[in-house]
Amino acid sequence: MQCRLYQRKTNMFNKSELLQAANTARESAYAPYSKFKVGAAVLTKDGKTFHGCNVENASYGLCNCAERTALFSAIAAGYRPGDFAAIAVTGDTEGPIAPCGACRQVIIELGGPELPVLLTNLKGDLKTTTAGDQLPDAFYLKPE
């Protein structure tokens, strides 16, 4: 999805459009067991948006979260760590949704600690944070 959500010169992005993209992604979720649909949208610095949704499997260890689906889709399309401007995540939760630990690790490795992370729910509650705030004292390896 090509969008003009990100303005490189001002390092700004359209939060409401990114949140809407996450809501749209949520509708594609495959959650027949938990019925807990999650959507995510990751925005690249060149203005492209990649959607992700959770995908469940009867063997629960084989499930994939929305955040990782969105980021892995961008990586599969040729993007690399440092190419991301923001990520938004939504779900049907009481307050803003919280990513799991595995997703926090992937977000910080691919997005960096300063990556804006927008967490919301179906009521529109919003928490704006960063990948670093979501995962203090993160684990890092240097890729070869």
User: Which member of 17, 27, 56, 67 is catalytic?
Assistant: 67
- DSSP H or E segment with residue 98: none
Q: Is 67 a catalytic residue?
A: yes
- Polymer length in residues for the chain: 144
Backbone angles phi, psi at 133, to 5 degrees: -70, -30
* Cα–Cα distances in angstroms (integers) from residue 135 to residues 36, 55, 101, in the given order: 23, 23, 8
Task: Give the residue numbers marked as catalytic.
Answer: 67
